[in-house]
């Protein structure tokens, strides 16, 4: 008889929340599924036929937020291998096993140890296994099962933002979308209505409304005007359970601002404005400001000003200050109080940006009247022209009148005017002007060829008020007079070949004239009468202000006549006729068969006026030799300098000289007398410096030794001055020692160094008279004397 073993999963309903189980239609492990093996009831055991044991599972369902006092019962595991003798134990593993979910290893009862929250974790996957307690060998394969947490309505809807900010244009149509708010519910949307949210408006009616399902906020009132109210605060509620009683809810605040549209025209606060300005105001001068108000803001409040009509359309202008939105009245042309004293203008203010849908509200512009009063001021004289141009012949005599200028006072008083010439523009004082009538005349002779135009400035000044003056340019053109004779354009010097033929052209002549006749230059060329009869050359006038020199015979001999001088007369045809005589030099030269010059009687056609090249080279060579001699002499003089006895490979200018001679001690008075440093009275006059070769004998200057009460600092300063002024000092830095102890002590110096400079023995008996402090010293020196005496 076969024995069939299977594992049963039993569920109990716990209070107050039940658990549920659902039959599983599939085997979780083992061989391919057989429906007869999965059914727990309806068939005999003998009909079950399987070769491998397996778990039989259902899906667990557990309600969240259990409020009971003990553990929440989940279900029971059971294996057909369990004989009830306690030989098997049940093991649970997976999500929360041992902590959140525990199992009785003997009975297979599963319990939840604490409240579960679906929003934290909706599903738990665990694994179960039955093993032999003694051997620990599994009697059934391990299989998985799922515990799903059923949702309850324990979460209120939460908006994505605590505060929403939105804008909508003013005067919008009803139903205009403002903004959409969104709330989310953490409950399970697939289980009941716990997560089904509906929206409603708690605050903000009747201006706005909200769609219950979408949360879209729309305008609900027609013609909301920003100028009346700009800010609105709307409170929206989101409630779950489809808004039914008992549902949870949450709220949010929506701050809505009405944005501006151009629905208000500009308006002047007053209909008439009045300003005054002096007649001397230059163009561009600001006279005053006007301002129209507009209830709109930003671009919709932009105002543009213009002058539409009035008496001063061409005299004044208005511009818009973009920062203050004011209209600035400015002067466009020069004003004249004597011509017009009052101007009346009509200024219009309009919006440049107009919305057509608001045109029904009326024209978006306004106008005001502006009166401008012109004030009289004392003005300078005004010339009748902006500039004057006069002409005068260059042969005009002194005090010849050229013309006149006219200026008058534009004021009603008509003050008299005095004229003068600005001498900064007429430094040579060529012109003058009559102070009363403005007549201009010459004060010096003119020359057109020197200066064609004279540009001067005339000043007109009020006699009663010299501060009022004005200036005008005066251009004077000097007219030409035929006062200059024509002359050759250049110096002509040419040659003729010895084998030249008659009527051969050897040179073309051109002339210039400083004058400038209106009909142009017309020069005539011919030989001077005194040379025309016997000349070997002729002049041919080309009638185009040029002439040619032609040969008059065949062949020339340079040995007979090497040079010909041709006097040529040049005259103009102006009035009066001016003429001059120019000389053309013609040399006779030997030429080749092409007519090219080879040699003439002279060495060159052009003689240099300076020295020859050979002479210049000789002069330069002498200068170079002289400079070299001077340089050598200076170098030899520099070589005569002091030669130091101490020769070192290093540069000793910035080094201290070291004498590595230990000497013979105090007894060696020839090597170095150190007593000299200690006692200035022991300086020997005949000792010289031993570190340089003396160039001349300079005896050191003897200074009086420091006497009693001489300060050491004075001694050092004295020695420093001596070294600075010593002409025998070396040209490099050396070490000087100033070790003077002073001579102010009544006991004189106690040093034995001075003994080498004295001849006699010293008496130290006076040390005994100095008191007990000097007893040791007195015994020492007194004992020495006693030894010497003995």
* 309-347: pLDDT as tens digits: 988 888 999 999 999 999 999 999 998 888 899 999 999
Q: Which of 448, 532, 456 is nearest to 483 (CA)?
A: 448
Mean of the per-residue pLDDT values of the chain? 78
- Confidence (pLDDT) at 263: 86
Residues 6+ apart with CB under 8 A from 27: 33, 34, 37, 38, 54
Q: What value does the CA radius of gyration of the chain take, rounded to a whole number of Å?
A: 67
- Residue 717 is inside which H or E element, if any? helix 712-725
Note the pTM of the prediction, 2 decimals. 0.42
Exposed e or buried b per residue across 777-789, where buried means at least 16 C-beta atoms within 10 angstroms of its C-beta = ebeebbeeeeeee
| Beta-carbon count within 10 A of 27 CB | 20
**426/576 Cα distance (integer angstroms):** 31
Q: What DSSP designation does 6 have?
A: -
Please state the rounded mean pLDDT for residues 251-266.
Answer: 91
- Confidence (pLDDT) at 136: 84
Res. 275: pLDDT tops 80? yes
- Confidence (pLDDT) at 742: 56
Please state the rounded mean pLDDT for residues 115-124.
Answer: 82
Exposed e or buried b per residue across 372-392, where buried means at least 16 C-beta atoms within 10 angstroms of its C-beta = bebeeeebbbebeeeebebeb
* 734-778: pLDDT as tens digits: 666 656 555 555 555 555 554 544 444 567 777 777 878 787 787
Query: How many degrees, rounded to 5, is the angle at CA 585 between CA 580 and CA 590?
Result: 160
Looking at 136-145, 502-511, 578-587, which range is the least confident one? Answer: 136-145
Res. 385: pLDDT tops 90? yes
* DSSP one-letter string for 368-415: EEEEEEEEP--PPPEESSS-EEEEEETTPPTT-EEEE--EE--STT--
Res. 32: pLDDT tops 50? no
* pLDDT tier at 611, thresholds 50, 70, 90: low
* Share above pLDDT 90 across residues of the chain, in percent, rounded to a whole number: 36
Residues 6+ apart with CB under 8 A from 389: 474, 475, 476, 477
Residues 6+ apart with CB under 8 A from 206: 220, 221
Res. 140: pLDDT tops 60? yes
- Confidence (pLDDT) at 684: 46
Q: Which of 720, 750, 756 is nearest to 736 (CA)?
A: 720
Cis peptide before 657 (omega within 30 of 0): no
Res. 516: pLDDT tops 90? no
- Confidence (pLDDT) at 53: 42
Q: What DSSP designation does 226 have?
A: T
Res. 700: pLDDT tops 60? no
Reading the block at residue 662, the tokens are 């230990």
Reading the block at residue 743, the tokens are 């001579």
Sheet with 109-112: list strands edge to edge. Answer: 7-10, 72-79, 109-112, 101-103
- Confidence (pLDDT) at 730: 67
| Beta-carbon count within 10 A of 155 CB | 20
Q: How many CA atoms lie within 13 A of 578 on its CB side?
A: 17
* 624-634: pLDDT as tens digits: 999 999 999 88
Domains of the chain are 59-150 (2.60.40.60), 158-259 (2.60.40.60), 272-375 (2.60.40.60), 382-479 (2.60.40.60), 487-599 (2.60.40.60)
- Confidence (pLDDT) at 664: 54
Q: What DSSP designation does 682 have?
A: G
| Beta-carbon count within 10 A of 555 CB | 13
Please state the rounded mean pLDDT for residues 50-61.
Answer: 52
Helix and strand totals (H; E) in the chain: 6, 43
* 277-288: pLDDT as tens digits: 998 899 999 999
Cis peptide before 462 (omega within 30 of 0): no
Res. 364: pLDDT tops 90? no
- Confidence (pLDDT) at 120: 82
Q: For residue 339, which phi and psi values (nearest 5 degrees)? A: -90, -45
Reading the block at residue 515, the tokens are 């004058």
Reading the block at residue 253, the tokens are 């605040």
Looking at 76-80, 245-249, 425-429, 692-696, which range is the least confident one? Answer: 692-696
SS3 625: helix
| Beta-carbon count within 10 A of 460 CB | 23
* pLDDT tier at 656, thresholds 50, 70, 90: low
Res. 706: pLDDT tops 50? no
- Do residues 499 and 555 touch, judged by C-beta distance below 8 A? yes
* Share above pLDDT 70 across residues of the chain, in percent, rounded to a whole number: 77
Please state the rounded mean pLDDT for residues 668-676.
Answer: 51
Please tell me which residue, 542 or 58, carries the higher pLDDT value: 542
- Confidence (pLDDT) at 144: 84
**510/489 Cα distance (integer angstroms):** 6
Looking at 6-10, 506-510, 748-752, which range is the least confident one? Answer: 6-10
Could you tell me if residue 123 is left (phi over 0), alpha (psi between -120 and 50 degrees) or otherwise beta?
beta
Parallel, antiparallel or unpaired: strands 177-180 and 342-350: unpaired
Please tell me which residue, 681 or 612, carries the higher pLDDT value: 612
Parallel, antiparallel or unpaired: strands 469-479 and 493-497: unpaired
Please state the rounded mean pLDDT for residues 513-532.
Answer: 87
Res. 474: pLDDT tops 90? yes
């Amino acid at each position: 008889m076969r024995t069939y073993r299977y594992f049963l999963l039993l569920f109990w309903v716990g209070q107050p929340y039940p658990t549920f189980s659902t039959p599983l239609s599939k085997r979780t492990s083992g061989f391919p599924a057989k429906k007869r093996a999965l059914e727990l009831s309806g068939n005999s055991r003998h009909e079950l036929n399987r070769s491998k044991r397996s778990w039989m599972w259902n899906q667990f369902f557990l309600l969240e937020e259990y409020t009971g006092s003990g553990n929440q019962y989940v279900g029971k595991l059971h294996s057909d291998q369990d004989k009830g003798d306690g030989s098997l134990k049940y093991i649970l593993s997976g999500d929360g096993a041992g902590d959140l979910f525990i199992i009785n290893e003997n009975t297979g009862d599963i319990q939840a140890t604490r409240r579960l929250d679906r929003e934290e974790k909706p599903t738990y996957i665990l694994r179960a296994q039955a093993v032999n307690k003694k051997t620990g060998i599994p009697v059934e394969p391990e299989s998985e099962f799922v515990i799903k947490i059923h949702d309850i309505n324990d979460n209120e809807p939460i908006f994505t933002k605590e505060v929403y900010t939105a804008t909508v244009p003013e005067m919008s149509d009803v139903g205009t979308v403002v903004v959409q708010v969104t709330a989310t519910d953490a409950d399970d949307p697939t289980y009941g209505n716990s997560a089904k949210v509906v929206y409603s408006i708690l605050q903000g009616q009747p201006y706005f409304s909200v769609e219950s399902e979408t949360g879209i906020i729309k305008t609900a009132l027609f013609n909301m005007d920003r100028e009346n109210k700009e800010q609105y605060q709307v409170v929206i509620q989101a409630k779950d359970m489809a808004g039914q009683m008992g549902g949870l809810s949450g709220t949010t605040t929506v701050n809505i601002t009405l944005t501006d549209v151009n629905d208000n025209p500009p308006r002047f606060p007053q209909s008439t404005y009045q300003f005054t300005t002096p007649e001397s105001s230059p163009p561009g001068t600001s006279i005053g400001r006007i301002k129209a108000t507009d209830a709109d803001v930003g671009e919709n409040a932009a105002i543009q000003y213009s002058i539409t009509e009035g008496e001063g359309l061409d005299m004044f202008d208005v511009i818009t200050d973009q920062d203050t939105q004011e209209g600035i009245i400015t002067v466009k042309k020069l004003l004249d109080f004597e011509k017009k004293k009052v101007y009346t203008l009509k200024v219009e203010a309009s919006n440049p940006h107009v919305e057509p849908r608001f045109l029904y509200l009326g024209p978006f512009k306004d106008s005001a009247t502006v009166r401008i009063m012109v004030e009289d001021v004392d003005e300078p004289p005004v010339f009748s022209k902006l500039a004057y141009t006069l002409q005068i012949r260059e042969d005009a005599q002194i005090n010849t009148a050229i013309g006149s200028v006219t200026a008058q006072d534009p004021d009603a008083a008509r003050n008299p005017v005095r004229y003068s010439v600005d001498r900064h523009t007429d430094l040579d004082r060529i012109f003058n002007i009559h102070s009363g009538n403005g007549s201009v005349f010459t004060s010096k002779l003119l020359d057109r060829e020197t200066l064609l135009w004279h540009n001067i400035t005339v000043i007109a000044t009020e006699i009663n008020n010299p501060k009022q003056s004005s200036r005008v340019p005066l251009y004077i053109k000097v007219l030409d007079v035929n006062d200059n004779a024509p002359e050759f354009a250049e110096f002509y010097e040419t040659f003729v070949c010895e084998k030249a033929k008659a009527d051969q052209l050897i040179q073309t002549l051109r002339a210039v004239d400083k004058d400038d006749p209106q009909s142009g230059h017309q020069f005539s060329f011919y030989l001077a009468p005194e040379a025309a009869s016997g000349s070997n050359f002729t002049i041919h006038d080309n009638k185009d202000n040029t002439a040619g020199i032609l040969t008059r015979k065949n062949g020339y001999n340079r040995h007979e006549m090497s040079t010909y001088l041709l006097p040529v007369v040049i005259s103009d045809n102006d009035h009066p006729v001016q003429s001059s005589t120019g000389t053309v030099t013609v040399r006779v030269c030997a030429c080749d068969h092409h007519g090219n010059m080879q040699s003439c009687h002279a060495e060159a056609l052009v003689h240099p006026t300076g020295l020859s090249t050979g002479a210049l080279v000789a002069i330069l060579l002498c200068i170079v030799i002289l400079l070299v001699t001077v340089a050598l002499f200076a170098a030899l003089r520099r070589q005569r300098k002091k030669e130091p006895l101490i020769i070192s490979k290093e540069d000793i200018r910035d080094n201290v000289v070291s004498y590595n001679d230990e000497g013979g001690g105090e007894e060696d008075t020839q090597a170095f007398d150190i007593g000299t440093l200690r006692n200035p009275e022991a300086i020997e006059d005949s000792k010289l410096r031993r570190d340089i070769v003396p160039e001349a004998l300079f005896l050191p200057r003897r200074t009086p030794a420091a006497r009693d009460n001489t300060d050491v600092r004075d001694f050092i300063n004295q020695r420093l001055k001596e070294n600075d002024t010593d002409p025998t000092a070396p040209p490099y830095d050396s070490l000087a020692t100033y070790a003077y102890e002073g001579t102010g002590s009544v006991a004189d110096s106690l040093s034995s160094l001075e003994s080498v400079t004295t001849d006699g023995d010293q008496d130290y008996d006076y040390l005994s008279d100095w008191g007990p402090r000097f007893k040791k010293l007195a015994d020492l020196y007194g004992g020495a004397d006693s030894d010497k005496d003995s």
